[in-house]
Amino acid sequence: MSNGPLHGIKIVEFAGLGPTPFAAMSLADMGAEVIRIQRPNLQHLMGLKYDILDRSRGFIELDLKNPTDIETAQNLIASADAVIEGMRPNVMERLGLGPDPMLARNPKLVYGRMTGWGQTGPLAHAAGHDINYIALSGALHAIGPADTPVIPLNLVGDFGGGGIYLAYGIVCALLEASRSGAGQVVDTAITDGTAHLMSMMYAMTQGNAWTDARETNILDGAAPFYNVYQTACGGHVAIGAIEPKFYAELVDRICADPTLKTTQMDRSTWPAVKDTFAQIFKTKSRDEWTALLHGTDTCFAPVLTIAEAFKDPHNTARNLFETHENVVQPRPTPHLSRTPGAIQPASQSVPLNVSSVLERWQSK
């Protein structure tokens, strides 16, 4: 077992999609013992034999329509430090597994709840997915070219605005419970988390430093010095030379007109400079530009495929990826110097013995 910072913490996870397994993985990687409850003979939605999001923890099979299995879940929660669930509001209450009865049995319990819209509000009971939640916060509107928003995978909502906030909230509540002796409910909504991620853009909009229209701002594809360019080979490179000294170095190294340095923040020049940069970057391949600019203060990076990212020299030097069960996967992060996280050995095909888990947890 890991000696990670959460070693000794026991967490019950109810099987779900996206943000809840991501939060559970993050906590398990840091040493918590997480046991996932899933229905018998559950098949993976995507057909995966090994899912990175399910790593570092084992599972038990319970039928939550069966009163005996409900009682087993209750007993497990009564011995846990925290719970992770991602049902619609009131589902857990109807099952007899909601916060009130569970906190009555286990007053120090941290009850982590994950929804898209939140436990309250007009949309609380409506169905939705990542794309809907980030739309409501203004995040989706802000991403993409001028003519249409672009879907940022499900990184902004499910994982950034959801799973990590759930894990963060649980750790905060666990820390407080260690001082007060009292648990609490962590109401995590993807809409809330996404809005929190948008804090800088909200501030800039109200301070007249951000225009509420796509491809008109420094960070949304309007600026020539913060953009993606196609190269001669059909690949792409990413440029992020915001600071004047970095922009000046970029102009020099790509042999652009030196006078461009004096007009960097003149937005009226941006379209023409973007065209100029686009023409310049098409004169060399992605690898040629990498050889010329990588590691300099031009704020440059090649746009790598997933397969290329696994083998990149910097990523390799950082030991960013590990291989477990023949699957390449990111190692636990952030990297702690004294009590680092680690991917825990756990079967994703053979369930744990429920009685053994209960006996062990209740004896601690």
Q: Against a cut of 0.85, is the pTM above it? A: yes
Cα–Cα distances (Å) from 357 to 36, 85, 87, 354, in that order, read 11, 19, 24, 5
- Joined tokens for residue 61: 């099979």
Known catalytic residues?
Answer: 129, 158
In DSSP terms, which residues pair with 37 in a beta bridge?
Answer: 14, 60
Identify the three-state secondary structure at position 163: helix
Q: Domain check: are 166 and 23 in the same one?
A: yes
Does the residue 239 lie in any domain?
yes
Contact 163, 13 (CB under 8 A): no
- Chain-centre distance for alpha carbon 82: 20
Q: Domain check: are 346 and 298 in the same one?
A: no
Q: What pLDDT is attached to residue 45?
A: 80
Segments forming the whole domain that contains residue 265: 226-313
Which residue type, as a one-letter code, is found at position 196?
Answer: H
Does the residue 319 lie in any domain?
no
Each residue's pLDDT expressed in tens, for the chain with a length of 364 residues: 568 999 999 999 999 999 999 999 999 999 999 999 999 988 888 888 999 999 999 999 999 999 999 999 999 999 999 999 999 999 999 999 999 999 999 999 999 999 999 999 999 999 999 999 999 999 999 999 999 999 999 999 999 999 999 999 999 999 999 999 999 999 999 999 999 999 999 999 999 999 999 999 999 999 999 999 999 999 999 999 999 999 999 999 999 999 999 999 999 999 999 999 999 999 999 999 999 999 999 999 999 999 999 999 999 999 999 999 999 999 999 999 999 999 999 999 999 999 999 999 998 7
Q: What pLDDT is attached to residue 47?
A: 83
Q: Domain check: are 104 and 151 in the same one?
A: yes
In angstroms and rounded to an integer, the radius of gyration of the C-alpha atoms of the chain is 24
Q: What are phi and psi of 231, to 5 degrees?
A: -110, 180
Does the residue 324 lie in any domain?
no
How many domains does the chain contain in total?
Answer: 2
Q: Domain check: are 24 and 129 in the same one?
A: yes
CATH value at residue 284 = 3.30.1540.10
Does the residue 48 lie in any domain?
yes
Q: What pLDDT is attached to residue 62?
A: 97
Q: What pLDDT is attached to residue 364?
A: 74
- Joined tokens for residue 215: 């491809």
Q: What pLDDT is attached to residue 1?
A: 52
Beta strands per DSSP E along 146-259? 184-189, 226-230, 236-240
Q: What pLDDT is attached to residue 164?
A: 98
Q: For strand 10-14 and strand 82-85, is the pairing parallel, antiparallel, or unpaired? A: parallel
Q: Domain check: are 259 and 343 in the same one?
A: no
Q: Domain check: are 99 and 230 in the same one?
A: no
